[in-house]
Structure 1
Amino acid sequence: MGILNGISDEWNPSTDPHIVMRYERDNFEEGKRCCKAELQRQLGLTEDPKLCLIGFCGRLCYQKGIHLILECLPWLMRNEGNGVNGFVQVAMMGKGELKYERELRKAEEQYPGRVCAFVGFDPIIEHRMMAGCDILLMPSQYEPCGLPQMYAQQYATLPVVHETGGLKDSVRGLWNDQERHVATGFLFGGFDTNRLKERLYQAMDTFRHKKALWGQMQMNAIKCNYYWPQAIDEYEKNIDQVMEDEPYQR
């Protein structure tokens, strides 16, 4: 029996002391607009609500898929006339392998106002990114459970994740229009840059051109419950079952 991790109640946009405007289900659109503008200012990004702000928080290493994000950057930044590519900002926070830290700093220099490379970690910035970003990227090669994708959904930030482990278990993908009432994010199969691009494009296109669908998915996400009491109930149920079962000898 597999039990997902739970998250603590500090990850709650209605009570979070670290964000500029607290919000909940009935005002999340206004709250996220305010939090996005403040995050853009704080990270040195151009303040523009129409740009799709994509965030990444995690270790800078191969397993977390940071190389996939870096390979996607020129494609994300380049205006290809489709109203999607080029209308993007990327904020990446983390520390790890020096080669990736250098590449992040280089990307920030290459795309001023459009890419933020926060080399290091600040828990307050992490809260503000969950509230202010439109999309959270988690293209991990493997992830037994993962927590940021859960945080993001509580803040109505939609995850784009690799279809593996706990990411697959905790994010409901938008595979077709029939799933619009349950979908909370976008999943890609295959640890590959082109697969990531396909799903990223779908997410950015939905943000830019399908506002009603995007809002529906945000509402689906913010309604999710990944807090610890639910996980504790699962542990108790399974412990009780084990204790009550007859002994078994092989």
Structure 2
Amino acid sequence: MSIIVPDIRQRFQPVQPTIKDAAGRVAYHELLPEPRLAPYIYCYWQLETMQPLTEAFVYRVVADGCIDLFFDVQQPADNYIMGFSTVYTEFPLPPVFNYIGIRFLPAAFPLLFNIDASALTNRFEHLGQVLPHLSAGLTRLAQHPAFLANLQQRLDQFFLHILSNTHFHRDGRLFDAIGIILNARGVLTVERELNSGISPRQLRRLFNFYIGDTPKVFSKVVRFQHILHAKPSVESLKKDKLFYDNGYYDQVHFIKEFKTMYGLTPTIALR
């Protein structure tokens, strides 16, 4: 069984915000896939109410470079795909919900399913409109699961079967470029430093298809995610000028880009 990029998850751990101000009424957790799926699937996740909510709850998804599948366990046929995002997305949710999702590492989903990622950038669509067979398979798989732990083994078997029947057509130069960006934590001058033996035009075409946007935009998301993963305090951002170290021209540029991808300013998000 071939591997796409053996060490991509060692260099890139996409972060989503923790649940705040829910007073224990909403829970989010992640589980790792079976090891053979680890180069492709970052995690399985579950977002659920622990008790019915009496007020509106909005879940914010930040830009993370990944593609996700998700569905509510009460309506598994109503499953969705969310593409690569350059901005944050807010989902107003009902008083009771129980969502399960599959988060794919960058480039993995288009490689597995031969789908153009750019067609889904900054969008989410019903999976049945994009990949009907995958939507039907998930629907059959997800009948009556109460908890993600109950579904995890079936998800592993389902995606291992897909993996074993997939014939990859990949360009190693794309993954060389992804590796350069990840090693630099997104802080690089793409035009000058992203040399992977391919013309800039061809590289943009590959990134659009497999990632969902250009190398420059992907680098911005990687840089943003690195800051989230580092968990800097608001004080250190101000004192140590970390925005300069992470390639931002000035604090205004940093705040603007952070807010675009997170939906909040760094001062609020990181407190």
The two structures share one fold, judged by TM-score above 0.5: no
Normalising by structure 2, what TM-score?
Answer: 0.26
Greater per-residue helix proportion: 1
